[in-house]
Chain A
Amino acid sequence: MLDAKIPEGSLENKWRNYQLKAQLINPANKKKLNVIVVGSGLAGAGAAATLAELGYDVKCFCYQDSARRAHSVAAQGGINAAKNYQHDGDSVWRMFYDTLKGGDFRSREANVFRLAELSAPLIDHYVQQGVPFAREYGGVLVNRSFGGVQVQRTFYARGQTGQQLLLAAYSQLYKMKRAKKVEMFPRHEMLDIVVIDGKAKGIIARDLVTGQLKRFAADAVVLATGGYSRVFRLSTLAIGCNGSAIWKAHKRGAYFAAPSFTQIHPTALPQTSEAQSKLTLMSESLRNDGRIWVPKKKEESRKANEIPEEDRDYYLERRYPSFGNLAPRDIASRAAKELIDAGFGVGRLKNAVYLDFKHAIEHFGLETIKDRYGNLFKMYKKITGVDAYKEPMQISPAAHFSMGGLWVDYELMTTIPGLYAIGECNFSDHGANRLGANSLLQASIDGYFVLPNTINNYLASALKEDHPTTDHPEFEKVEKEVTEQISRLLAVNGNKTVDHFHRELGKVMWQECAMSRNKEGLEKAIVQIEEIKEAFWNEVNVTGGHLEMNTELEKALRLADFIELGLLMCNDALQREESCGAHFREEYQTNEGEALRNDDTYSYVSAWEYYQGDFKLHREALTFEYVQPTVRSYK
């Protein structure tokens, strides 16, 4: 059993107690300590800037050309905080409970409480940084409701909340760069981690412009590398998002927790061709007024507007009368998948469902709908060329957020001492399903508030040790391994492209390890992925060399890790013989087809160890002292 090192005391006092007991480092000593932060999103930039303010020397890496482009930038909806500005009965406790329940009781009480507790000061911080949150005429902050929560606690900046928060974090980061406390390494990709005497002491990164491998030593390494849903290839994530950093850390000893917990978002734009690279997310808010349906007949050939009411199946309204089109993300996604798989899908590739505003326009008038969703309709038209005021949108589920990630304790440290994982790349607060507007929150809280208060507890001891240098034989060894992997890839000289194998992997993962899973399928998937792995290393063709900018090589390196990660995800989904949150095992459902959780056996966090080329399962027991797990129902 893994120990998350939860501090003692009542739930409300745990974080305070932790801070009281954590070791401190005096300012004169802090500047002798180096920290590497990989990733420059909300978690990474927030942590790098804050650590620099505290006096540490920080090196921050990102693969993009600028820290401002990290994928936090794409979050649209907002960020939750228990401010209770709307006087609607919100509180830290209620937010804690909503998040824990939303995660289907597969996360830690103490972590989730801390998340809710620190949410209010986070909004203060962002406002001070100049984030132009939406305001009332009188000048106070506005909130909206989000993701089926009964209070209004979401703060937003138009449909660009993630961008505005990231720009604030990025600006603070560059302020510290100007102060010479942060050194920036854009266009650098971490390819491996260096562990010396069991402790994380540095990384090997590739300069994406020159192709050179570079060694960087530090007293602690922080991974803030985001989600890995690109394992499905088609996802709402940026094309460059990858799991390589955490995967390399995993292979060097960090446990990987709940890898199979990935959220599938129900309202993305469908795939339109084999060549498609990305599924664009359409805000969930559309489901407030749009009605989702498919034709009743499989071989329907009429255009959407020509199909009469009696030939339409408003399946969410039919199956979930009380929630209807507003059923939670996992439910809505799964229902769509079932109908698409059964042949009722619409669109050229028969892979979408209709989201129809006809009735809403009739009822509220065109102007009201334009006012509410104008920007989304515009975006839809930009991408599809279709006027959604005149015919229904076509939407489809898409891989979105990864709740799973490196296992971390209460201090956000992985099982490798000195290696931290923050933001989406760790598994901590969301359990088996993430609530809307909680991802920006968790990334920010980890980066700004938690890590800068916990890392000192480790670094205080690092102070007494020798500072690592890049001359250490371990750096030599790891760099050589990275070089070998690159050379191997370049030497394959096969006849298939990297994208070909990514498409193959994506198909298997999407079919067997996405919205609904079963034993047989997962076992089959494991075999198929092994085959893909074999084929990839024998048939891929990566053109160009390694000492130059080579985007094909970058993709190949990332895919090599995705393939292995995909295997672990399937193994994880296979071992969890229950349904919870986003993890739906077909064998474990109620008579009505709803998720059937098994708290007696599976109330734990799976944490996988990479062990001699295989995966070994460890467990962290989840105990609920303050809330009683209940069954979610949406009928």
Chain B
Amino acid sequence: MKVTFKIWRQENKSSKGNFESYDVEGLTEDMSFLEALDHLNELLVAQNQKVIAFEYDCREGICGQCGVFINGRAHGPHDHMTTCQLHMRSFKDGETIVVEPWRATAFPVIKDLVVDRSALDNIIEKGGYISAKTGTAAEANAILIAKNVADRAMDAAACIGCGACVASCKNSSAALFTAAKINHLSSLPQGKHEATQRVLQMTRQMELEGFGSCTFTGACEVECPEGISLTNIAEMNARRAKAKWLG
């Protein structure tokens, strides 16, 4: 099959950037979207041009490193999917595919389609952990956790940190990301001791990083590869209010 890629090219953080169009032939429907970009890069090398910088690593939907805005959607046209899981069969022969980097002030473009998501790490650093030094843990089954509590924690913990929630949010809010981590840890008995500080400091950091606020459009939940529920944000708000007013 043949498609036209319209791809954002930007030399580095400070340069301006613009779209470039590339007609690519010889693709097959079985190719993944990223393999089609690989293929395009090989064509560029053959023409002695610089390759397009884009991100990926595991290519099986779990590392969270890949992620671009494809034809107006984070990770492409399907719900709950990563870019690496997208295949060319999702596009029509001859289609023009517009590829843009994640857009958010907190995610500056480094080059072409690559953005800097370290803001997410900075949020985690402010409390996305349970303080327990190696070697200090008690016997595992000494902490009983009901199945539904563990399951709910796992639902939230499934976040892969790809940033699609931020990218698809009109406010570039990182509320879903932050909420998922807070709820994962604070709903478990091990994580309760630091719950107050955790929610206050992580939400504070989220604002300092320049993310917008949540207006519950629900786009994040649909674009989230793990389908993490929007209600997590409401739960975070409740935890925050409790921490703020009741301590």
| A residues apposed to B, CB below 8 Å | 46, 49-50, 53, 64-69, 71, 73-74, 83, 85, 121, 123-125, 127-130, 132-141, 157-158, 160, 162-164, 167, 170-172, 174-175, 177-178, 184, 186, 209, 236, 238-240, 272-273, 275-278, 280-281, 348, 379, 382-385, 448-449, 452, 495, 497-500, 541-544, 548-552
Contacts and interface: CB of A to CB of B under 8 A. Distances in A.
A349 to B, nearest CB: 10
Given A65-B117, A163-B62, A171-B124, A130 B150 contact: no
A452 B116 CA distance: 32
Given A74-B62, A384-B30, 9 more contacts: A65-B65, A65-B116, A68-B161, A124-B139, A135-B149, A239-B59, A277-B35, A551-B51, A552-B41
Contact of A238 (B38, B50, B59): B59
B215 interface: no
B150 A452 contact: no
A486 B89 CA distance: 38
Residue with the greatest number of chain A CB neighbours at <10 A, chosen from B110, B116, B140:
B140
A552 B43 CA distance: 13
Nearest to A178: B125
Contacts of A548: 11-12, 111
B32 A277 contact: yes
B16 interface: no
B145 A135 contact: yes
B125 A174 contact: yes
A64 B56 CA distance: 9
Contacts of B48: 541, 543
Contacts of A170: 124
Contact of A543 (B51, B81, B124, B134): B51
A141 B146 CA distance: 10
Nearest to A173: B129
Interface stretch (B92-100, B164-172, B182-190, B206-214): B182-190
A348 B45 CA distance: 29
Contact of A141 (B62, B64, B140): B140
Contact-residue bracket for chain B: 35 or more
Interface of B: 11-12, 28, 30-32, 34-36, 38-39, 41-42, 44-46, 48-51, 53-65, 81, 84-85, 87, 89, 110-111, 114, 116-118, 120-121, 124-126, 128-141, 143-147, 149-151, 153-154, 157-158, 160-161, 184-185, 188, 190-191
Contacts of B191: 130
Nearest to B47: A543
14 contacts: A49-B134, A65-B65, A68-B124, A85-B141, A129-B129, A130-B184, A140-B141, A238-B57, A239-B56, A276-B35, A277-B34, A382-B81, A541-B45, A543-B50
A49 B158 CA distance: 22
A71 B63 contact: yes
5 closest A-B pairs (Cβ-Cβ)?
A139-B144, A171-B129, A128-B137, A272-B30, A124-B137
Instruction: Say what secondary structure dominates the interface of chain B.
Output: loop
Nearest to A164: B157
Contact of A65 (B39, B55, B135): B55
Contact of B130 (A73, A123, A124, A130): A130
A385 B60 contact: no
Nearest to B159: A167
A66 B121 contact: yes
A147 B124 CA distance: 35
Contacts of B135: 121, 125, 449
Contacts of B144: 138-140
A236 B63 CA distance: 13
Contacts of A160: 62, 158
Given A163-B62, A452-B134, A66 B50 contact: no
B140 to A, nearest CB: 4
Nearest to A552: B51
Nearest to A128: B137
B122 to A, nearest CB: 9
A240 B146 contact: no
B226 to A, nearest CB: 9
B177 to A, nearest CB: 12
A74 B53 CA distance: 23
A139 B44 contact: no
Nearest to A272: B30
Contact of A273 (B28, B132, B143): B28
Nearest to B150: A135
A385 B39 CA distance: 21
A128 B130 contact: yes
Contacts of A130: 129-130, 153, 184-185, 188, 190-191
Nearest to A452: B134
Nearest to B80: A382
Given A178-B126, A548-B12, A71 B31 contact: no
Contacts of B55: 65
A388 to B, nearest CB: 16
Contact of B138 (A128, A135, A379): A128
Contacts of B57: 64, 69, 71, 238-240
A73 B38 contact: no
A189 to B, nearest CB: 13
B239 to A, nearest CB: 15
B137 A74 contact: no
Nearest to A494: B45
B45 A127 contact: no
Contact of B184 (A132, A174, A175): A132
Contact of B30 (A136, A273, A452): A273
A275 B64 contact: no
Given A53-B133, A209-B110, A74 B58 contact: yes
Nearest to B130: A130
Contacts of A175: 125, 129, 131
B38 A125 contact: no
B53 A127 contact: no
A50 B85 contact: no
B121 A172 contact: no
A382 B85 contact: yes
Contacts of B161: 66, 68-69
A269 to B, nearest CB: 10
